[in-house]
């Protein structure tokens, strides 16, 4: 029984624009467990420039984690790796795949393992998702929006914060054609505005019946974010604000101080399933809602996120539609039909 890892560089089909820059490739790490003639995989979805565990000794820590298996339990490893959330999630995937499939004689596809029992896993139910619109020139953004609407999406998320005036015009035009009851619009600023700019943006967004704005200002401006959330005419969702917050009490205190309307959970960035559940417990205590999204993982990680999300029985659109962004992604049983993510039976 041996656990190992190897790096894998995902190549974007088209450059992805955000307020942090344009993405053309993404480094990820694949964990591999070999035992009894079977292989079990997990993805450590490190996000360069964003992950809290984007540190020089990342591969050393990953090697250490592999060497500890199976002497240490997943619980023990998870606690010792609190500052390495992507490794936590990768290990969770390997352990869960092994537990679920070790006695399954039909198991032969480690990139698409069954992980959690659900109607979604069996291809019977889908998960409602939003359509993602990347930043870019106005015509490029409009073309993406047209594509998502034609595909049947009833909720779209638009990246903003690079050229706000042009982005604002797109949002106004979009709303004139599609009222809120027909199209839910979310916007994601990725911290692209200053506090003063964010106040103005929120006022401009209010008449457009925007569902929510993600991370209007950069993370770690706790007092300013709390002020925005207390006074905002548009619901605010925390995203990057959650990164690097490791302890459960620290999580609760952050949410209790800022009091956002929503938080967005990316398992690769917040400690996998167990770390996400800690955030959810805090939300339940404080009356804060949440949804789950991917963080540009390959189809391997997306498969795990989607199957776990399904057993939470979400009612609002989730952010799980990024699996088709890469030229060299792994084959997947995940398929977007209309505005839902499904998992094919075979």
Q: Which are the catalytic amino acids?
A: 159, 266
- C-alpha to C-alpha distances, 253 to 69, 250, 321, nearest whole angstrom: 33, 5, 31
Cis peptide before 22 (omega within 30 of 0): no
- C-alpha to C-alpha distances, 158 to 19, 210, 228, 305, nearest whole angstrom: 12, 11, 20, 22
Query: Do the beta carbons of residue 119 and residue 125 sit within 8 Å?
Result: yes
- C-alpha to C-alpha distances, 211 to 75, 171, 185, 202, 261, nearest whole angstrom: 37, 12, 6, 12, 11
Q: 11 CB contacts (<8 Å, ≥6 apart)?
A: 24, 25, 326, 327, 328
Enumerate the β-bridge partners of residue 51.
Answer: none
In this structure, are strands 131-133 and 155-159 parallel, antiparallel, or unpaired?
A: parallel
């Amino acid at each position: 029984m041996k656990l190992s890892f190897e790096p894998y560089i995902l190549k974007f089909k088209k450059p992805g624009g955000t307020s942090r820059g344009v993405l053309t490739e993404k480094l990820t790490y694949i964990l591999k467990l070999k035992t009894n003639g079977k292989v079990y995989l997990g993805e450590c979805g490190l996000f360069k420039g964003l992950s809290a565990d984007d540190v020089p000794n990342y591969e050393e820590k990953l090697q250490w984690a592999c060497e500890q298996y199976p002497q240490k339990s997943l619980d023990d490893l998870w606690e010792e790796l609190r500052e390495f959330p992507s490794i936590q999630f990768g290990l969770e995937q390997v352990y869960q795949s092994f537990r679920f499939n070790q006695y399954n004689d039909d198991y032969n596809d480690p990139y698409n393992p069954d992980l959690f029992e659900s109607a979604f896993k069996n291809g019977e139910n889908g998960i409602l998702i939003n359509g993602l619109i990347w930043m870019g020139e106005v015509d490029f953004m409009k073309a993406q929006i047209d594509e998502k609407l034609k595909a049947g999406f009833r909720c779209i998320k638009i990246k903003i914060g690079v050229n706000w005036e042009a982005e604002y015009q797109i949002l106004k035009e979009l709303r004139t054609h599609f009222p809120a009851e027909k199209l839910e619009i979310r916007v994601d600023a990725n911290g692209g505005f200053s506090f003063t700019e964010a106040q103005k943006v929120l006022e401009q967004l209010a008449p457009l019946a925007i569902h929510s704005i993600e991370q209007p200002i950069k993370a770690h401006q706790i007092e300013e974010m709390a002020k925005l959330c207390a006074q905002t005419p548009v619901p605010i969702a925390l995203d990057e604000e959650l990164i690097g917050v490791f302890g459960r009490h620290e999580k609760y205190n952050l949410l209790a101080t800022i009091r956002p309307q929503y938080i967005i959970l990316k398992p690769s960035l917040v400690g996998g399933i167990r770390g996400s559940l800690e955030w959810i417990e805090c939300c339940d205590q404080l009356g804060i809602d949440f949804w789950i999204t991917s963080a540009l993982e390959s189809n391997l990680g997306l498969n795990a996120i989607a199957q776990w999300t399904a057993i939470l029985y979400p009612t609002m659109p989730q952010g799980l539609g990024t699996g088709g962004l890469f030229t060299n992604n792994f084959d997947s049983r995940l398929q977007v039909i209309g505005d839902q993510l499904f998992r094919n039976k075979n």
